[in-house]
Amino acid sequence: MRFTWDPTKARSNLRKHGVSFVEAITTFADPLAKGKGMKTKSRPKQREPSRASLREIPEIDFTKAKVRRNSYAARIAAEGIVLQIGRGRPKKLLEVGGTRPRSVRFPDDVWVLLERRAKAKGMTLHAALREAIIRWAKTAA
């Protein structure tokens, strides 16, 4: 390995810590120096929890647990699911179905009604609004 450093920083380090950079770089070549504070590429070993810590964990009675239904599970089971591969929002015009994003303004009471209906059907507000507009467009045509 080749090391370079700023001469001003090297003098400052020698004054402050009493260790020159020339002496400090020898630790990288020393196989016995890989101790605390030295970064290594290997991961630390995962330890099993101790018996004492396991005794401190309270027992859980799963017979008393409340089960909540996933509101989207039935819809996904019926329609399937479309996954976006990659991170973040899809780029414009690359959304599922090749849609173009637009804004829609409604009075607050209409948004409340849409939110209630969407929740009752296990859908997102966006999906419910989209479904309602598409259904209206098909019947109006």
Q: What is the pLDDT of residues 6-26, one digit of tens each?
A: 888 888 888 888 888 888 877
pLDDT at 121: 85
pLDDT at 81: 66
Classify the phi-psi angles of 24: left when phi > 0, otherwise alpha if psi is within -120 to 50, otherwise beta: alpha
pLDDT at 41: 63
Residue matched to tokens 């296990």: 122
d(C-alpha 115, C-alpha 132), whole Å: 12
pLDDT at 75: 74
Which residue numbers in the chain have pLDDT < 70?
1, 31-43, 81-86, 88-101, 141
Q: State the Cα torsion 50-53-55-56 to the nearest 10°.
A: 180
